[in-house]
Amino acid sequence: MLSILQEHFFAFLEATSMTLRLTAISLLLAVAVGLIVAFLKLSPNRLLNGAANVYITVIRGTPLIVQLMFLYFGISRLIVLSSFWAGALALAIHAGAYVAEIFRGAIQSIDKGQMEASRSLGIPYWQSMRLVVLPQAFRRAVPPLGNQFIIGLKDSSLVAYLGVSEIYGTALSIQAENFQPFETYVVAGMYYLVLVLIFTLLVNRLEARLDVEKRRNEPEVPQLEYATP
């Protein structure tokens, strides 16, 4: 196993960079897609609302591999996408549906009084959204988003089937050469595991930094008269 790690160090390094690029681009797009779809779904307009529902239903109701193949091979007569972009877009569209539901839930979980208080001060709707509701909603969305991002990172392995040499794709070709599938796949798994662990650490850091609730326990000014036994 060590020999595989050593021998293919640079191949896996490049593969890791490919995995990270795929993941980063697709998740960035997924956040944009998710935010837009979440607002469509919250819209009172039935057409916009319906469009968001169709998107979420279709994307959540079909496997990612089918979506990947469809974008790369299925529509090749209409648009020819590079394997990288077909993969990144499919991942983005796929994760976008889940991210949309995360954002919708987070926005809806913010007390209506927040929007009302903001509007009562004369702050217009979208500005109230931006200044008052979204910052609080993003905080609540961080844990489920982190979860979704981890899923997205691992889902990027399916792009190997479009011929992209990311971590899993690289492992596929290496084990075909060395006939050591056990060792090779363990190594590939380790790469993913390490990436996920690093990512989890980052999300936890972010969560701690954004956590206003925690500040409740560390008041700047101790208020003993209100302390409960």
Partner 1 sequence: MSNTEHMIKLEDVHKYFGKLHVLRGINLEVDRSDVVVLIGPSGSGKSTLLRCLNFLELAQQGSIYIDGQLVDPDSTNLDKVRARVGMVFQHFNLFPHKNVLENVTMAPINVRKEKKKAAREKARALLSQVGLEDKDRAYPSQLSGGQKQRVAIARALAMEPDIMLFDEATSALDPELVGEVLQVMQDLAAEGMTMLVVTHEMGFAREVADRVVMMDEGLIIEDNTPQQMFDSPKEERTSKFLRQVL
Q: Using the minimum distance from each CB to partner 1, give the nearer residue, 182 or 226.
A: 226
Q: Under the rule (CB under 8 A), what is the footprint of partner 1?
A: 111, 113-114, 116-124, 127, 131-132, 135-136, 139, 212-213, 215-216, 219-221, 223, 226
Q: Which two tokens stand for residue 72?
A: 């790369």
Q: Using the minimum distance from each CB to partner 1, give the nearer residue, 121 or 208.
A: 121
Angle among Cα 177, 23, 17 to the nearest 5 degrees reads 50
Q: Using the minimum distance from each CB to partner 1, give the nearer residue, 46 or 215.
A: 215
Buried b (16+ CB within 10 A) or exposed e, 3-33: ebeeebeebbeebbebbbebbebbbebbbeb
Q: Using the minimum distance from each CB to partner 1, give the nearer residue, 6 or 217.
A: 217
Distance from C-alpha of 148 to C-alpha of 134, rounded to nearest angstrom:
19
- Shortest distance in whole angstroms from residue 112 CB to partner 1: 9
Q: For the packed helices 134-155 and 9-42, what is the interaxial angle rounded to 10 degrees?
A: 140
Most distant CA atoms of the chain, gap in Å: 73
Q: How many CB atoms lie within 10 A of CB 67?
A: 20
Q: Using the minimum distance from each CB to partner 1, give the nearer residue, 133 or 195.
A: 133
Enclosing H/E stretch for 138: helix 134-155
- Shortest distance in whole angstroms from residue 39 CB to partner 1: 20
- Shortest distance in whole angstroms from residue 36 CB to partner 1: 23
- Shortest distance in whole angstroms from residue 221 CB to partner 1: 7
- Shortest distance in whole angstroms from residue 139 CB to partner 1: 7
